[in-house]
Amino acid sequence: MSSKARLHKQPEMSRMEVWLQSHASLFLFICIIVLFMLVLAVIVAMFNVSAAPTGTEQNLWYNQLERII
């Protein structure tokens, strides 16, 4: 059995597409690093907000108390 030849033209890629495909692994690595930093920033923001003082009377130091002591 002989296979049929494909006689249609192959689509040509532009120079930009060729350059992007040749550097795809670098872009993937950079995107993974950026994603990791964004996830880390969200985690840090969540813990900083939950650890912030709430502003109740029990955890604030009033200036009037400084003068009394």
Reading the block at residue 38, the tokens are 């964004």
**pLDDT > 60? residue 46:** yes
**pLDDT > 80? residue 49:** no
Asked if residue 59 lies in contact with residue 53, where contact means CB atoms within 8 angstroms, the answer is yes
The proportion of the chain whose per-residue pLDDT surpasses 70, expressed as a percent, equals 68
Residue 47 binned pLDDT confidence (cut-offs 50, 70, 90):
confident
Q: pTM to 2 decimals?
A: 0.54
pLDDT at 50: 58
Phi/psi at 56 (5° precision) = -80, 170
Quote the DSSP letter at residue 57.
Answer: G
Asked if residue 50 lies in contact with residue 42, where contact means CB atoms within 8 angstroms, the answer is no
Q: What is the mean pLDDT of residues 26-33?
A: 97
